Structure 1
């Protein structure tokens, strides 16, 4: 997407999903855990991505602010387009929000066709996180 500043250092997107009102500290801790699990640092993030119904969610915005990157949001129909590429599709998530995944789908959607999942969905008590990157062929 043109609004995300991808470059050779910042080629990853952190996808996040959370229940409404999830404490920012919980989502930030999950984000840090995701980065550690993927073996990357915050300086390698180009953006945070989520579903548009979380556009005003303080926890998502706090993570974007913490890493000083933009937050981008997608509607459920756009996220549903990513279902064939998900590692962890969920019928329960589909029943709740209209797409088979938020964190993985949002991370992939933010990059587009050249995206690949680096880290599939991980969970905390009230949130999910996943990391996508620009495909190595585009690096």
Structure 2
């Protein structure tokens, strides 16, 4: 996990969505594909991000552990605020989650107001993934002792991430 106060320059944020019970292998395969398209590992991965309803989803937290980065989640209303910046809004996703996109919106929300989407939503059978490029610098606040971030409230204009544990 990332230590408090560490900063990164123009790293990547992996946004993920999945159906409950999706296998770690499926999510990992999809994540590797979108990250490769975004230039990983030459460009550092800063975080894995998703909808707060997936905060305890084993496959998503396993990816955070696999890449040794924080796992941050957002309320549907916060992800919905990212709709103007996402490439593939979906009315069907909105009916299920309360936001028009999970993977793209979570990646953008975690990456900050100046972030840009590098890889639009890609899907597997049960999961979605997208990658955003973070603002020029991001700083992480202290993590919880477990390394799992169940929820976070991040304002788009905030230059630093405050992770609630």
Q: Considering the TM-score relative to the shorter chain, is it more than 0.5?
A: yes
Q: Does 1:55 align with 2:75?
A: no
SS at match of 2:129: strand
Residue 94 and residue 124 in structure 1: after superposition, are their counterparts in 2 closer, same or farther (change >3 A)? same
Q: Which residue of 1 aligns with 2:8?
A: 7
Q: Which residue of 1 aligns with 2:31?
A: 31
Runs of 4+ in structure 1 off by over 6 angstroms are: none
Q: Which residue of 2 aligns with 1:41?
A: 41
Q: Relative to structure 2, which stretch is displaced further, 100-109 or 34-43?
A: 34-43
Q: Deviations over 1:44-89 (max 9, x none)?
A: 1000000000000000001000000000000000000000001000
Structure 2: where are the runs of 5+ without partners? 138-165
- Normalised to the residue count of structure 2, the TM-score between the two structures is 0.76
- The answer (yes or no) to whether the contact 1:117–1:132 under 8 Å persists in 2 is yes
Residue 80 and residue 5 in structure 1: after superposition, are their counterparts in 2 closer, same or farther (change >3 A)? farther
Counterpart CA distance in 1 for 2:99 and 2:108 is: 13
SS at match of 1:50: strand
Q: Flag the structure with larger Rg.
A: 2
How much does 1:38 deviate? Answer: 1.8
Q: Which residue of 1 aligns with 2:108?
A: 108
Counterpart CA distance in 2 for 1:124 and 1:28 is: 11
Residue 78 and residue 72 in structure 1: after superposition, are their counterparts in 2 closer, same or farther (change >3 A)? same
How much does 1:43 deviate? Answer: 6.4
Q: Which residue of 1 aligns with 2:84?
A: 84
How much does 1:134 deviate? Answer: 2.2
More helix by share: 1
How many residues align? The count is: 134
CA RMSD in angstroms, aligned pairs only: 1.8
Counterpart CA distance in 2 for 1:4 and 1:16 is: 25
Q: Which residue of 2 aligns with 1:95?
A: 95
Residue 63 and residue 48 in structure 1: after superposition, are their counterparts in 2 closer, same or farther (change >3 A)? same
- Normalised to the residue count of structure 1, the TM-score between the two structures is 0.90
